[in-house]
């Protein structure tokens, strides 16, 4: 499951990434098991929020309007950004959505209270650079909220992930099945304050392992 966005930079997308992937993401990322996970994470966002891979706007109905003052976001997909803008307007959210990539955020240092990343680190071109940028734009004391799918801890699913990933990536917008999640966040210099993990129900295990939680600088 590629639950976020293409790993391509703006201007480098083929027809599949430009037209088919947004539809695939819109369908896959709104499935019931995925939404159950999102409901554990998104309402914890507060203050000025940056959403990485914000295209599609799937998270917008889950923000707590009493906690969030504004949402800004980036996504490389024009098609997904259009959906995000429509979703933000429907929810009455003060927003600014920009075409861009997580590896080179168009924002100042120490700007955001919360950085939210949901099913995005699987498909960015450079996972560690994206996390470094998230650290850069977070205010001191800010929080990184994460919900990602990635490398399964069990030998069977992990073996299938390695087998399927080469075929999966071009179909699913650059999505990697074998990337670490919490380990990569800690390696990027974050301190993980809360964490949970597990396989999503009614989801094949090779794409169902998720980890979610809260991290600070």
Angle separating helix axes 21-28 and 78-91, nearest 10 degrees: 40
- Does the pLDDT at position 9 exceed 50? no
Kindly report the average pLDDT of the chain as a whole number: 87
**Element housing 144 (H / E):** strand 138-149
Q: How far is CA 67 from CA 17, 37, 156, in A?
A: 34, 19, 41
Mean pLDDT of the region 161-177: 90
pLDDT digits 0-9 by tens, 38-52: 999 999 999 999 999
d(CA 101, CA 162): 26
Taking only the tens place, the pLDDT of each residue in 110-141 is 999 999 999 999 999 999 999 999 999 999 99
CATH hierarchy code of domain 15-216: 3.40.50.150
User: What does the pLDDT read at residue 12?
Assistant: 44
Question: What is the domain partition of the chain in residue ranges?
Answer: 15-216
pLDDT, residue 37, reads 93
C-alpha–C-alpha distance, residues 208 and 122, integer Å: 13
């Amino acid at each position: 499951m590629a639950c976020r966005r293409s790993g391509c930079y703006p201007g480098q997308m083929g027809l599949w990434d430009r037209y088919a992937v947004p539809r695939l993401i819109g369908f896959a990322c709104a499935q019931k098991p995925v939404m159950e996970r999102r409901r554990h994470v998104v309402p914890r966002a507060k203050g000025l929020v940056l959403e990485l891979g914000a295209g599609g706007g799937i998270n917008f109905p889950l923000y707590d309007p009493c906690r969030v003052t504004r949402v800004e976001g980036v996504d490389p997909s024009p098609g997904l950004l259009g959906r995000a803008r429509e979703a933000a307007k429907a929810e009455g959210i003060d927003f600014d959505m920009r075409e861009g990539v997580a590896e080179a955020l168009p924002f100042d240092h120490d700007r955001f209270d919360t950085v939210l990343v949901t099913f995005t680190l699987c498909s960015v071109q450079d996972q560690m650079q994206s996390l470094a940028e998230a650290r850069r734009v977070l205010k001191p004391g800010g929080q990184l909220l994460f919900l990602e799918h990635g490398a399964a801890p069990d030998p069977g699913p992990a073996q299938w992930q390695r087998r399927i990933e080469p075929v999966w990536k071009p179909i699913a917008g650059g999505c990697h099945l074998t990337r670490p999640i919490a380990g990569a966040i800690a390696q990027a210099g974050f301190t993980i304050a809360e964490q949970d993990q597990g396989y999503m129900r009614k989801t094949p295990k090779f794409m169902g392992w998720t980890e979610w939680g809260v991290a600070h600088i």
